Chains A and B, each alone.
Chain A
Amino acid sequence: EDQVTQSPEALRLQEGESSSLNCSYTVSGLRGLFWYRQDPGKGPEFLFTLYSAGEEKEKERLKATLTKKESFLHITAPKPEDSATYLCAFLSGGYNKLIFGAGTRLAVHP
Chain B
Amino acid sequence: GAGVSQSPSNKVTEKGKDVELRCDPISGHTALYWYRQSLGQGLEFLIYFQGNSAPDKSGLPSDRFSAERTGGSVSTLTIQRTQQEDSAVYLCASSPPGQGDSPLHFGNGTRLTVT
- Which A residues have a C-beta under 8 Å from some C-beta of B? 31-32, 34, 41-46, 49, 51, 87, 89, 91, 95-103
Contact = CB atoms under 8 A, between A and B. Distances in A.
Given A32-B101, A34-B103, A43-B109, A96 B42 contact: no
B45 A99 contact: yes
5 contacts: A32-B101, A43-B91, A46-B103, A98-B43, A99-B45
Contacts of A44: 43, 91, 104, 106
Interface of B: 4, 31, 33, 35, 41-45, 48, 50, 56, 59, 91, 93, 100-101, 103-109
Contacts of A34: 103
Most buried by A among B33, B42, B109: B42
Given A46-B103, A49-B103, A96 B43 contact: no
